[in-house]
Structure 1
């Protein structure tokens, strides 16, 4: 996500800002996960990650559903107005996000469309599904071009399916660590434009909302 924004910043300037050192950085903070890489024997896992503090081991659908549900219930204990900035949860638009949409159904008392650019759940909490763009299901990996997904690393092709052989193929972690992180300028990021537009629209929607207490 970070690389997509930096490489498309001319089209989505509101998602970046210039810091005191004159460098372009994200205009928002990312939720920090402690990630593992199956092809590395050791990797630094920060104990201060937001996920660890909140008890969310990963960004999987069930964990995100729990996070949203807990946030909704806990915020009712405070009289303060919602945060000054939106909290945006990006979810894959597939079977893994069923629990997230189930929580949204309960909170909104209605069924949001999976094709909505974003869903305003409550207060400052928004959910942005990965755009399906005519597909039955969509994960963030689907936003990469066919050419990029056809590349190989160490003679291994990419396979993002649940039953992929991690010894013979490269999965999501390898895509992030071994390809995206090392070759951001060589990637076709145009497929991410609908998602980045949805993020921009959610931020804009929150900025236009009148100040109010928890709802």
Structure 2
């Protein structure tokens, strides 16, 4: 497994694979506004731990914003226009978040990205996300845009097969990763979050993942 070195917040885009780009510090200047937007979203649709189809409780707590949201239970993984806990539509995607996703995608070579779903994930120490592919979307031509806030995390970026070699990216507060095109269906995940303290977020990491689901 390869590991890329850390970059400061003034670093230029870092290509990591065909169609995949790391944007160190891209969201840093907007961090407080992003956190306020996340707080507004989760006030309406609180964080919760989805159940996998196999009956396991996911360690990452999740919410959603946009026209549809990603959900999981015994019936499977899917997108739904309503929050199953409230029966109400998911909160609208704030313009700030939509613009950030669009700008990051454009910086990575994917102009005119128009996300209709934003997964809001909360990691506490020990939480992790196993290697997986994002295959629940109908449109694989659009990229995935992932924004990291809070505690540092190790993002794993593999190949098109689960057994392919994995690159480990040490992501920090404000970093953005974009992958699409030839890399759209690469396996990826997050190693267990290590304990620590972030000046704005304390002992947690928040992740925004933008997608074109419908």
Question: What TM-score does the superposition give when structure 1 sets the normalisation length?
Answer: 0.27
- Which is greater in Rg? 1
- Which one has more relative contact order, counting CA pairs under 8 Å at least 6 apart? 2
- The structure where helix makes up a greater share of residues is 1
TM-score, normalization by structure 2: 0.27
- Higher percent of residues as strand: 2
